[in-house]
Structure 1
C-alpha cells in the first residue's frame, strides 16, 4: 500500500467500518499484538468488541487508505469526578502490512488536540514491555512510570510485563 492515508474521527460505527475494524483487530491479534485478546480471535468476538466501544467519553479515530481501515486509536476520558482532567490512550493498532509508515504516530497526534478540547491535561497508557510501540510513545514525549511484571499472557503462553506511561498536555 503506497497511497496516502486519512484519519477519520468516528462517532457512529457504520456497517462497513464495523466489519473493517473487526478484520483489523483479528489481523493485529494474529500478528501478536497485546491488545487484550489472544489468537485465534473469532470474527464474532472481535465484532462484539467493536459494538461496545463507542460510549460516553470515548473518541475513536480510524486511519483509512484506499477505502480500508488500516489503523485505529481511542481516547477514553475518565468519567469520575476526580479524574475529569485525565484520559487513557487505548487500542492503538496498525495493520501489520501498513506499519512503519507513520500511521501510529499520526493517530496519536490526532488525539491530543481532542483531549485538550475535552479539558484533559493528563494522558496515560500502557503497552507490552519490549514492543516497538515503546519507542513511539517515548518519541512523542510520554514518560515511563514503571513496569508491572507478568501483567498479561502472550500468544505463546508466557507472561509479559506492561509498561505504564503518562504525558502532560
Structure 2
C-alpha cells in the first residue's frame, strides 16, 4: 500500500497546488467525468476554476480536501459551506475527483470520510451532492451510505456532448 495522506488545504496551499489540481480535473474530464466541463479540457483550462476555489477557501465558503499518494496530489473533493442564512446546518459535496492512474487505493472513500468529518466539525449535519446518472460515481455514493433523492433527466452534458441525467443524493450526519 502506498503512503496516503488526506488533508485540508489553506488558500495559500491551494494556490501553490494549482498545477496539480488542474491536472487532476483535466484527467477526470478527459476520462469522461461529467463535472461541468467539456472536452477537450487541457490542464491550463482548469486553472481559472481552481483560482475561484482558492478564493472561496479564503472567504471560508469552501473547504478543499486533497488526497496525496507518495506525496503526489491525485484526488480532491470540496465541501461547499457558503450557504444561505437559513441553511447553517447544510453543506454541498462537490467535485469528488481521483486521477485515473491513482484509482483502486480507496481514495474516494477516504476523501468522502474526511469531507463528512470536516462537515461535522463545522456543525453541518445535512450533506447534498449530485452526480451523472448511470456513471460509476452513482454506485459509489450508494455504497458510502448516501440516500438517493431523485433524478432529473437531461440535466447536464457529458464531456463529449451527450445529454445525461443527474442523480441527487443526501446524507444526514450525527449532530
Normalization by structure 2: what TM-score?
Answer: 0.90
Contact 2:155-2:166 at 8 Å conserved across structures: yes
1:118 deviates by 1.0
Q: Does 1:52 align with 2:52?
A: yes
Indicate the RMSD between aligned Cα atoms, in angstroms: 1.4
Q: Deviations over 1:39-84 (max 9, x none)?
A: 1113332011100103132100110112211100000014211111
**RCO (CA 8 Å, sep 6+): is it higher in 1 or 2?**
2
Which of 51, 65, 87 aligns to 2:69? It is 65
1:96, 1:124 → 2: CA distance?
25
Q: Does 1:106 align with 2:110?
A: yes
1:46, 1:156 → 2: CA distance?
17
1:13 deviates by 4.1
Contact 1:78-1:86 at 8 Å conserved across structures: no
Which of 63, 76, 81 aligns to 2:80? It is 76
Please state whether the residue corresponding to 1:52 is helix, strand or coil.
helix
Please state whether the residue corresponding to 2:53 is helix, strand or coil.
coil
Which of 124, 131, 138 aligns to 1:134? It is 138
2:73, 2:12 → 1: CA distance?
12
Which of 152, 157, 166 aligns to 2:170? It is 166
Q: How does 1:114-153 map to 2 (within 5 A)?
A: 114-153=118-157
Residue in 1 that maps onto 2:6: 7
Q: Deviations over 1:83-108 (max 9, x none)?
A: 11100000000011111220001000
Note the residue ranges of structure 1 that are not aligned, 5 or more in a row.
none
Contact 1:74-1:90 at 8 Å conserved across structures: yes
1:18 deviates by 1.2
Contact 1:129-1:160 at 8 Å conserved across structures: yes
Normalization by structure 1: what TM-score?
Answer: 0.93
1:144, 1:13 → 2: CA distance?
36
